[in-house]
Amino acid sequence: MINQVRKALGRTEPLKNPPIPPEIPEAIARLAPRDANLPDLFTKSAAQAHFKIERTTPDQIPSRIVAFLQLHQCQKIGISISPLLDHLKIEPAIRAANLTLNRWDETTLDSTYDQDCGITDVYAAVAETGSLVIRPSKNQGRALSLIPPIHIAIVETTNILPDLIDLMQKITKDPRTPNITLITGPSKTADIEGALVTGVHGPGLVQIFLLP
């Protein structure tokens, strides 16, 4: 096949040096400019992706999360082991509300299916698409964000990237990222008669708390 292509191009032998691809202006390649207001753009894009998103502050977030869990009648909650979540004192606030909380190291994969909500931080967030990026690790398995019917994600504005180009650059520079999970909205499927159904294969509600 390659010989046929080479013949069609009028070449008799392979190129000694591969052609240099043209530079694409950032205004064309990027829908999210680097100088954009990333928190505002992420908030808008996440809402369009049918996430629920709320801006809050570190001192308010424990009570906001407890109120959210009580509103949605969540009794069993899984939480990742995270310096950020520990710093925000989310765990003691949930336990004080008499809700059952299991840290990731106290959870089995089977028990994750019994949880009403999973709480995680994020590796990154993408402003262009409003996506959440989860990096599975021994402290935060993929199950927390993919199995319970509700997922709460804590996003710091410093972790918001303009677009997927920046995300790929971040990943290639980080040796700790063997794989990532890109969440683009609540779980949906339209396999049955073309009818869109939310929450069949994972969380039907994803709540983002955005920190400054």
Q: How far is 108 from 147, CA to CA, in rounded Å?
A: 12
Tens digit of each residue's pLDDT (9 = 90 or more) over 75-95: 999 999 999 999 999 999 999
Q: How far, in Å, CA of 94 to CA of 125, rounded?
A: 25
Question: Bridge-partner residues for 155, per DSSP?
Answer: 210
Domains of the chain plus CATH, in order, are 36-211 (3.40.50.10420)
Burial classification of residue 12, based on how many CB atoms lie within 10 Å of its CB (0-12 exposed, 13-18 middle, 19 or more buried) = exposed
> For residue 130, is pLDDT > 70?
yes
Residue 114 token pair: 């019994």
User: What is the three-class DSSP state of 34?
Assistant: coil
Rounded CA separation 76/211 (Å): 24
- C-alpha to C-alpha distance for 184 and 133, rounded to whole angstroms: 9
pLDDT on residue 146: 93
Average pLDDT over residues 97-109: 93
- Of 55-64, 123-132, 198-207, least confident by mean pLDDT is 198-207
